[in-house]
Amino acid sequence: MKTAIVLHPGREKSLNRRHPWIFEGAVAKLVGQPHKGATVDVISDDGTWLAKAAYSPESQIRARVWSFEQNEVIDDVFFKRKIQEALNVRQQWLGASNTNAYRVIASESDGLPGITVDKYADILVMQLLSAGAEKHKSKIVNALSTIFADHVIHERSDVEVRRKEGLEPLVQTHVGELPASVTIEENGLNIEVDLVAGHKTGFYLDQRKNRMIAGALCKNKRVLNCFSYTGTFSLYALQGGAQSVVNVDVSQSALATSQRNIELNFSSEEQSKVSHIKEDVFELLRTYKERGEKFDVIVMDPPKFVENKRHLERAARGYKDINRLACELLSPQGTLLTFSCSGLVSQDLFNKIIADAALDANTQLNYLQRLEQDSDHMIASSFPEGAYLKGLVCIKRN
């Protein structure tokens, strides 16, 4: 044992349940002088070996587990095996799906903490958010290039959360030449993805099945798509026969991409059913309320409102406000599809927020269906934090 972290008494319980995080307060002492990203043994206070983990001296998550097998070597073979296993599972579950874009690696849920990889046609976009992932970057790229021959491999680690690990945000292409955008296929639709400046790795793959659910509810309906980004809920709404669709977002570039997506898929007559409004959603909803506007279907898919527990109360107020306004804008028996992608907002809390929003709007909602991230964004039973996206299909009863 060259380098190790030794835990305080009782702090091995989460590891015995295979949870992959070891927090700063759990560490009693270091053995040796591990550097950032180094693989260390994790030892209980009584000397029992527990796991192999990546050490991160600047993060509150002091180590992230690579393996619970004592003889495991964290090398090229390890990463190739783990990535191939993750791909095999996706291919099994997505085999019948009509798409060429999906999440290949879902970080801790695939036993690869801090590593996210999304596939857009023949382009892989990865984010490396932990010290261990950064340490083994060359191994990860080598494994991806071996398994996904002839794919471009691009890194979009341009997120501030890397600073918590003592890492700088960065963007770089490792294999091939990156185009500015790529057009993917999803359930009979063509969708342009901005690989350079798009949100996350470029697109919200996690909403795929929820877009299908939304589209099926839109026949002959007036649809309001809030925080519309590049308009994919609207594509499904038109595909489902919507009477009209309004996209609202503060980003002109996102709305421009939305317009191109509409043009890629629909005739001039169908395109005329769609309008794009560059506006703050909160302000526009208030304006619509004052005008007495009504919609049959409202999609409320805001960005993450909360990054840490200190902001949770403020975020809850924001979610409540927009959903209260949505309730007031719904026509009788109208449908609200509402989401939160904030991991710190639990399903129970989200349910309460929506219930309080309906109460303040002096209306009654019935929950018809719970929604969650699509199956390629898998959730390990030992890592409930992987369940970040939650949503509800609601119907207005009065």
Q: Which residue has the tokens 């009504």?
A: 294
Helix axes 137-147, 76-94, angle to 10 degrees: 50
Which string of b and e fits 185-194 if b means at least 16 CB within 10 Å? ebbebebbbb
Beta bridge mates, 268: none
Catalytic residue selected from 218, 226, 341, 394: 341
Compute the distance between CA of residue 16 and CA of residue 119 in angstroms, rounded to an integer: 33
Q: Provide φ and ψ at 84, rounded to 5°.
A: -65, -40
Structure tokens at 247: 């996209």
Pairing status of strand 61-67 against strand 21-23: antiparallel
Structure tokens at 391: 């949503």
Compute the distance between CA of residue 316 and CA of residue 271 in angstroms, rounded to an integer: 36
Q: Is 15 exposed, middle or buried (0-12, 13-18, 19+ CB in 10 A)?
A: buried
Of 100, 80, 82, nearest to 91 (Cα)? 100
Q: Which residue has the tokens 């904030």?
A: 342
Residue 341 a catalytic site member? yes
Residues in the chain, how many?
Answer: 398
Q: Provide φ and ψ at 123, rounded to 5°.
A: -125, 130
Pairing status of strand 244-249 against strand 330-340: unpaired
Catalytic residues: 341
